[in-house]
Structure 1
Amino acid sequence: MRTPEALRAPLRRLVERRAELFDVALAVVATAVEFGLVDSLRVPPIALTAAAGAALLLRRRHPMPVLAVTIAAAWACAALGEYPGGAPVLVALYTIAEERERRVSVVTAVPVAVFLQAASISSVPVTVGAWALGSYVQTRRRYVAALEERAAQLEREREQLDRIAARDERTAIARELHDIVAHSVTVMLLGVRGARDILPTEPAIAADTLRRVETTAEDSLAELRRMLTVLRDPARDAQLRPQPSLARLDALISGYRDTGMPLTLTVTGERRPLPGGIELSVYRIIEEALTNVLKHARPARVDVTLAFTPETLTVTIDDDGPSRPATPGGHGLTGMRERVIALGGDLTTGPRTGGGFTVTAALPIGNP
Structure 2
Amino acid sequence: MRSWRAHLGRARLLVRAKLPPVAVDAVLTAALLFATAGLAHRDLSRSTSLVVFQWLLLIPLVWRRRAPLAVFGAMAAVAFLQWLAGAPLPADVALLIALYTVAAHSSRLRTLSAVGVLELGALLASLTWTTHGRTTQSFIALSAMVIAAAVTGVNVRTRRAYLAALEDRAGRLERERDQQAQLAVAGERARIAREMHDIVTHNLSVMVALADGAVFAQQRHPEKAAAAMRQVSGTGRQAITDMRRFLGVLRADEPDALRHPMPGIAQLEPLAEQVRAAGLPTRLSVSGNPAAATAAAQLTVYRLVQEALTNTLKHAPAGTRAEVRVRCSPDSVRVDITDDGPAATTPADPSPTASGHGIPGMRERAAAYGGQLDAGPQPDGGWRVSAVLTLNPPQDGDGAR
Same fold, judged at TM 0.5 (above)? yes
Which residue does the alignment assign to 1:346? 372
Q: Is this contact kept in 1: 2:57–2:92, CA < 8 A?
A: no
Change (3 A) 1:133 1:235: farther
Q: Which moved more, 1:134-143 or 1:221-230?
A: 221-230
| TM-score for both structures, normalised by structure 1 | 0.87
Residue type matched to 1:193 in 2?
D
- Residue 61 (str. 1) matches residue 69 (str. 2): no
Residue type matched to 1:116 in 2?
A
Which residue does the alignment assign to 1:256? 275
Change (3 A) 1:110 1:60: same
State the Cα deviation string for residues 158-178 of structure 1 (Å, max 9, x = none).
222222222212211211111
Which residue does the alignment assign to 1:337? 363
Which residue among 126, 137, 158 is the counterpart of 2:177? 158
Which residue does the alignment assign to 1:181? 200
State the Cα deviation string for residues 235-291 of structure 1 (Å, max 9, x = none).
545458431112211111111122232211112233424212101110000000011
Alpha-carbon shift at residue 53 of structure 1 (Å): 1.3
Q: Which moved more, 1:27-36 or 1:261-270?
A: 27-36
Which residue does the alignment assign to 2:385? 359
1:298-337 map, 5 Å: 298=317, 300-323=320-343, 324-325=345-346, 326-327=348-349, 329=353, 331-337=357-363
State the Cα deviation string for residues 126-154 of structure 1 (Å, max 9, x = none).
10111111111112222222222222222
Between the aligned partners of 1:258 and 1:240, the Cα distance in structure 2 is 29
Q: Is this contact kept in 1: 2:54–2:89, CA < 8 A?
A: no
Which residue among 19, 22, 38 is the counterpart of 2:21? 19
What 5-or-longer segments of structure 1 have no aligned partner? Answer: 1-10
Which residue does the alignment assign to 2:227? 208
Q: Which moved more, 1:328-337 or 1:234-243?
A: 234-243
State the Cα deviation string for residues 65-114 of structure 1 (Å, max 9, x = none).
32233334444555434353631100111111122111221122122123
Which residue does the alignment assign to 1:47? 52
- Residue 128 (str. 1) matches residue 130 (str. 2): no
Name the SS of the counterpart of 2:90 in structure 1. Answer: coil
Name the SS of the counterpart of 1:147 in structure 2. Answer: helix
Which residue among 34, 37, 48 is the counterpart of 1:35? 37
State the Cα deviation string for residues 273-323 of structure 1 (Å, max 9, x = none).
421210111000000001111111135432111112231110110111112
Which residue does the alignment assign to 1:99? 105
Alpha-carbon shift at residue 332 of structure 1 (Å): 1.2
Between the aligned partners of 1:84 and 1:336, the Cα distance in structure 2 is 84
Alpha-carbon shift at residue 358 of structure 1 (Å): 0.8
Residue type matched to 1:110 in 2?
G
Q: Is this contact kept in 2: 1:37–1:85, CA < 8 A?
A: no
Name the SS of the counterpart of 1:177 in structure 2. Answer: helix
CA RMSD of aligned residues (A): 2.7
Residue type matched to 1:102 in 2?
R
Alpha-carbon shift at residue 187 of structure 1 (Å): 0.3
Residue type matched to 1:274 in 2?
A
Residue type matched to 1:27 in 2?
T
Change (3 A) 1:65 1:294: closer
Alpha-carbon shift at residue 201 of structure 1 (Å): 2.5
Name the SS of the counterpart of 1:107 in structure 2. Answer: helix
Between the aligned partners of 1:127 and 1:337, the Cα distance in structure 2 is 71
Between the aligned partners of 2:99 and 2:33, the Cα distance in structure 1 is 15
Residue type matched to 1:257 in 2?
R
Change (3 A) 1:317 1:214: same
Name the SS of the counterpart of 1:119 in structure 2. Answer: helix
Alpha-carbon shift at residue 18 of structure 1 (Å): 3.5
What 5-or-longer segments of structure 2 have no aligned partner? Answer: 1-12, 127-137, 394-401
Q: Which moved more, 1:152-161 or 1:13-22?
A: 13-22
Between the aligned partners of 2:80 and 2:171, the Cα distance in structure 1 is 48
Alpha-carbon shift at residue 12 of structure 1 (Å): 9.9
1:223-242 map, 5 Å: 223-228=242-247, 233-237=251-255, 238-239=257-258, 241-242=260-261
Between the aligned partners of 1:46 and 1:84, the Cα distance in structure 2 is 12
Between the aligned partners of 2:243 and 2:313, the Cα distance in structure 1 is 22
- Residue 219 (str. 1) matches residue 225 (str. 2): no
Q: Is this contact kept in 2: 1:96–1:134, CA < 8 A?
A: yes
Which residue among 169, 174, 182 is the counterpart of 2:188? 169
Residue type matched to 2:93 in 1?
A
Residue type matched to 2:220 in 1?
T
